[in-house]
C-alpha cells in the first residue's frame, strides 16, 4: 500500500519540478501594467506595421520629433528645432546635444542616416514614405541591382554630428508628422553589429581573417570602419577576381548585409527613448524601466512599465477585473458593447482614424475564378452606387458592432483631422438604388450574377456584417450574393492580387494627414486593390503633393476624397471606434483617433 501511495506523491513532485523548470511567475509588480492590442510582432523598425509594435516603440525610442503627451501633435524631441527653406523642400534639423542612447553614446545625425538607409537597402512596408526624400527611390532601385548610386546624393546629409539636412522632392507640409512616426527613428549601429550577417560570406570571412591579423575584430566594426579597411584587404588578395569584387564593394560603399532581428531584444538592444526595454519573456511579458540617460528624464513619471501578453479576450478582461493590469489598450467590440450597455465609466471609447468598408472590383472583367471571368457588372458606376445606397448601415452599427460607431458615407473619418472637412457621401436610399440598378440593366437584380462577398474567417464581426449585407441586398434590391469566408492568409492574397468581386476590408491612417487615406487609391498605388483608376483623382492628388500651402492643399484633397465617395469603388460602412478599459487612477492617457500612447506622460495616482 505504501508503494501504491508513493506513485501519486512522486507524480506531484514531478509536476512541481516541471513547473519550477518552466520559469517562475510574476516577480514584482510594475508601477503600471497593461495589456497591448496583441503580442508584439516585431520591434524592428524596418519590419513593424502593427499598432501594438508602434505603441511600445513610442515608449522606448524617439525621433527628431515625437507626439506631444497631451496634444499628440509633433513636438521637438531628438531635434531641438528645425529650419525650413523658402521653397519648403530643404529641412535642417538641429539635434539636441544632450540626447543619449541607453548605453550613454550621444545620438548623432549619422544614427538617423544609418537607420533610414536600412529602409532603402532592405526595403520594408513603409519604405514608400521615404520616397518624398530626394533620390531615395533611385538609391533603393540601384542598390537592388547591385550598382548603388552615391549615398551622398540622397537627400539626407549630416552637416555635422548634430545637424541633419533633409532635401525633399516636393514641399511636404506634414513632414514633422512623418518624422514623429517610428520608421523615421534612429538606430544605434554598433549595438547591432554582433547580429550582422553578410551576404558575400566567403569574401567577408577572408576579410575577417585579414583584419584579425591586424588585431581588429570584424564582429565589432561598423560598416564604415570595415569599408575603410577594404583597399588594404584587396591589395593583399591573390585572386584577381576576388580583388575586383572587393574593389567594387569599396567603390560603391556597399557591403551587403542584414541583421538578425534579435538585435531588438534585451540585453543587446540600445534605444534612445524615455524607457529602456530590460526584459522580454516570449509570450509572457515585456518589462520597461525608466531610462537614466534620456534627456528629458525628469518629465518621465513612471519607473517601471509592464506589458503583459494575453491574447484571449475573456481572460484579458478577467485580469483587468482582478486588478492585475491597469489598462486594456484594446477591447474588442463584442465585449466593449456589452460593457457600454452596463454604463461602465472605465470603458473609454473614441473616434478612430480608421474606416470599415467594402471594396468592389472595378475592372471591366471579373477575375477568372468568379463567374468564369465574364463582364464585371461592378465596373458600372450605377451598379456600385445602387449597392452602396441599399445598405442600411445603421442596422450594422446598432446590431452588429454596437459601439455607437458613426455610420460612414465617406472614406476619410470626419472630425479626426483638424482643419479638414469631408463632404457627405451617398445616402441610404432604396428607391434611388432600385432605379439606378434598373437603369444599369438589372431591374430587381435580374441578370446579375451571384457575386461572392469575401472576408477573413477569424473575424466574427465581419462574418456577421457579411450575413447582414447578403440579407439586405436580397431584400432591398433582389440581388443575390454569396458569402465566402477564407482563412486570413488566403483572404489577404486574394484581395491584394485583386482576385475577388466584393470584399470586406478596412483602412487605418498611419500619420495624421489625408494622403494616408487618399494615396491608397492612386492608380499607381500598390494598395489600390479595387483597381479603380480615375485620371481626375490622380491629377488632384498630384496637385496636392506639389502644393506648399497647407490650407489650399486640404481643399484639393477634399475634392479628391469626394470622388471616391461618389464613384464608390469602396462603400464606407462605419468609422471605427477605439475602445479601451482604463482605471481612473491612470493619468496621462488621452483618447485620440490614432490611438497613440505617449508613455512619457503617463502616471499612476492611486489613493
| β-strand partners of 354 | 508
Enumerate residues 144-163 that contact another protein by CB under 8 A: 144
Residue whose CB is less far from another protein, 424 or 460: 460
Q: Does 47 bind another protein (CB under 8 A)?
A: yes
Kindly give, in sequence order, each residue whose CB lies less than 8 Å from that of residue 591, ignoring residues fewer than 6 positions away: 348, 349, 350, 578, 580
Per-residue x/- track, 490-529, another protein (CB under 8 A): x-xx--x-----------------------------xx-x
- Does 369 bind another protein (CB under 8 A)? Our answer is yes
Question: Shortest gap between Cβ of 316 and another protein (angstroms)?
Answer: 7
Name the nearest CA neighbour of 61 among 238, 269, 368.
269
Question: Judged by CB, which is closer to another protein: 130, or 295?
Answer: 130
Name residues contacting another protein, limited to 278-297 (CB under 8 A): 281-284
Angle between helix 460-477 and 381-389 (nearest 10): 110
Total number of residues that touch another protein (CB under 8 A): 98
Residue 21, all three cell numbers? 523548470
Q: Is 534 in the site for another protein (CB under 8 A)?
A: no
Stretch that binds another protein, among 208-216, 243-251, 394-402, 566-574 (CB under 8 A): 394-402
β 32-35/327-328 pair status: parallel
Residue 302 grid cell = 513612471
Of 21, 104, 419, 607, which lies in the binding site for another protein, with binding defined by CB under 8 A? 21
SS3 606: coil
Beta bridge partners of 579: 349
Q: Is 224 in the site for another protein (CB under 8 A)?
A: no
Residues 416 to 445: which contact another protein by CB under 8 A?
Answer: none
The yes or no reply on residue 14 touching another protein (CB under 8 A) is yes
Residue 122 or 229: the one with the smaller Cβ distance to another protein is: 122
Taking CB under 8 A as the criterion, the residue among 2, 24, 239, 240 binding another protein is 24
CB of 140 to another protein, least distance (A): 8
CA terminus-to-terminus distance, the chain:
57
- Which of 22, 214, 215, 345 touches another protein by CB under 8 A? 22
Write out the H or E segment, with its range, that includes residue 224: helix 223-235
We find the least distance from the C-beta atom of residue 203 to another protein, in angstroms, to be 17
Decide: helix, strand or coil at residue 571.
Answer: strand
- Give the nearest distance from C-beta 601 to another protein in angstroms: 28
Residues in 96-135 that interact with another protein by CB under 8 A: 122-125, 127-128
What SS3 state is found at 455? Answer: strand
The strand pair at 451-456 and 502-508 is best described as parallel
In eight-state DSSP terms, residue 591 is -
The 3-class SS string of 243-291 reads HHHHHHHHHHCCCCEEECHHHHCCCCCCCCCCEEEEEEECCCEEEEEEC
Q: Is 117 helix (H, G, I), strand (E, B) or coil?
A: helix
Contact set for another protein, span 473-492 (CB under 8 A): 480, 482-490, 492
23 belongs to the binding site for another protein (CB under 8 A): yes
- Per-residue contact string for residues 310-349; x = within reach of another protein by CB under 8 A: xxxxxxxxxx-xx-x---------xx--xx-xx-x-----
Q: Give the cell for residue 315.
A: 481572460
Amino acid at each position: 500500500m505504501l508503494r501504491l501511495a508513493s506513485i501519486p506523491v512522486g507524480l506531484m513532485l514531478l509536476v512541481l519540478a516541471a513547473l519550477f523548470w518552466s520559469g517562475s511567475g510574476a516577480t514584482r509588480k510594475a508601477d503600471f501594467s497593461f495589456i497591448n492590442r496583441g503580442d508584439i510582432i516585431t520591434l524592428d523598425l524596418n519590419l513593424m506595421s502593427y499598432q501594438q509594435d508602434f505603441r511600445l516603440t513610442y515608449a522606448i525610442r524617439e525621433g527628431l520629433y515625437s507626439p506631444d503627451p497631451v496634444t499628440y501633435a509633433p513636438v521637438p524631441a531628438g531635434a531641438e528645432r528645425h529650419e525650413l527653406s523658402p521653397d519648403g523642400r530643404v529641412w535642417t534639423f538641429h539635434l539636441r546635444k544632450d540626447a543619449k542612447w541607453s548605453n550613454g553614446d550621444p545620438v548623432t545625425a549619422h544614427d538617423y542616416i544609418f537607420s533610414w538607409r536600412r529602409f532603402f537597402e532592405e526595403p520594408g512596408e513603409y519604405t514608400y514614405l521615404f520616397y518624398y526624400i530626394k533620390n531615395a527611390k533611385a538609391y533603393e532601385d540601384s542598390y537592388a541591382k547591385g550598382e548603388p548610386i552615391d549615398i551622398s546624393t540622397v537627400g539626407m546629409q549630416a552637416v555635422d554630428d548634430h545637424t541633419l539636412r533633409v532635401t525633399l522632392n516636393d514641399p511636404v507640409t506634414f513632414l514633422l508628422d512623418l518624422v514623429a512616426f517610428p520608421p523615421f527613428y534612429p538606430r544605434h549601429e554598433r549595438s547591432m553589429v554582433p547580429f550582422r550577417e553578410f551576404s558575400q560570406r566567403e569574401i567577408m570571412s577572408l576579410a575577417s581573417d585579414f583584419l584579425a591579423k591586424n588585431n581588429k575584430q570584424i564582429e565589432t566594426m561598423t560598416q564604415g570602419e570595415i569599408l575603410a579597411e577594404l583597399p588594404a584587404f584587396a591589395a593583399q588578395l591573390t585572386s584577381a577576381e576576388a580583388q575586383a569584387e572587393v574593389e567594387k564593394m569599396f567603390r560603391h560603399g556597399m557591403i551587403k548585409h542584414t541583421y538578425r532581428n534579435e538585435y531588438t531584444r534585451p540585453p543587446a538592444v540600445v534605444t534612445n527613448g524615455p524607457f529602456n526595454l530590460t526584459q522580454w519573456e516570449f509570450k509572457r511579458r515585456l518589462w520597461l524601466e525608466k531610462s537614466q540617460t534620456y534627456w528629458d528624464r525628469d518629465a518621465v513619471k513612471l519607473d517601471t512599465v509592464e506589458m503583459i501578453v494575453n491574447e484571449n479576450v475573456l481572460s484579458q478582461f478577467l485580469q483587468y477585473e482582478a486588478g492585475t493590469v491597469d489598462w486594456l489598450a484594446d477591447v474588442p467590440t463584442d465585449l466593449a458593447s456589452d460593457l457600454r450597455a452596463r454604463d461602465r465609466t472605465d470603458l473609454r471609447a473614441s473616434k478612430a482614424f480608421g474606416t470599415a468598408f467594402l471594396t468592389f472590383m472595378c475592372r471591366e472583367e471579373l477575375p477568372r475564378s468568379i463567374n468564369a471571368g465574364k463582364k464585371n457588372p461592378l465596373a458600372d458606376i450605377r451598379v456600385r452606387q445602387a449597392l452602396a445606397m441599399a445598405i442600411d448601415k445603421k442596422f450594422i452599427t446598432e446590431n452588429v458592432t454596437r459601439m455607437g460607431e458613426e455610420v460612414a458615407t465617406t472614406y476619410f473619418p470626419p472630425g479626426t483631422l483638424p482643419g479638414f472637412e469631408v463632404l457627405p457621401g451617398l445616402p441610404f436610399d432604396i428607391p434611388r438604388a432600385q432605379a439606378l440598378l434598373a437603369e444599369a440593366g438589372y431591374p430587381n437584380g435580374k441578370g446579375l450574377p451571384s457575386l461572392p462577398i469575401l472576408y477573413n474567417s477569424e473575424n466574427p464581426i465581419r462574418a456577421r456584417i457579411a450575413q447582414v449585407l447578403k440579407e439586405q441586398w436580397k431584400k432591398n434590391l433582389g440581388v443575390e450574393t454569396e458569402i465566402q469566408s477564407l482563412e486570413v492568409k488566403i483572404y489577404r492574397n486574394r484581395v491584394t492580387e485583386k482576385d475577388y468581386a466584393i470584399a470586406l476590408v478596412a483602412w487605418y491612417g498611419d500619420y495624421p494627414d489625408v494622403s494616408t487615406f487618399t494615396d491608397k487609391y492612386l492608380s499607381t498605388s500598390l494598395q489600390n486593390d479595387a483597381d479603380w483608376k480615375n485620371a481626375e483623382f490622380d491629377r488632384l492628388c498630384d496637385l496636392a503633393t506639389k502644393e506648399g500651402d497647407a490650407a489650399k492643399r486640404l481643399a484639393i484633397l477634399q475634392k479628391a476624397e469626394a470622388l471616391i465617395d461618389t464613384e464608390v469603388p469602396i462603400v464606407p460602412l462605419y468609422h471605427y471606434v477605439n475602445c479601451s478599459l482604463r482605471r481612473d487612477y491612470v493619468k496621462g492617457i488621452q483618447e485620440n483617433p490614432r490611438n497613440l500612447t505617449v508613455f512619457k506622460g503617463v502616471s499612476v495616482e492611486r489613493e
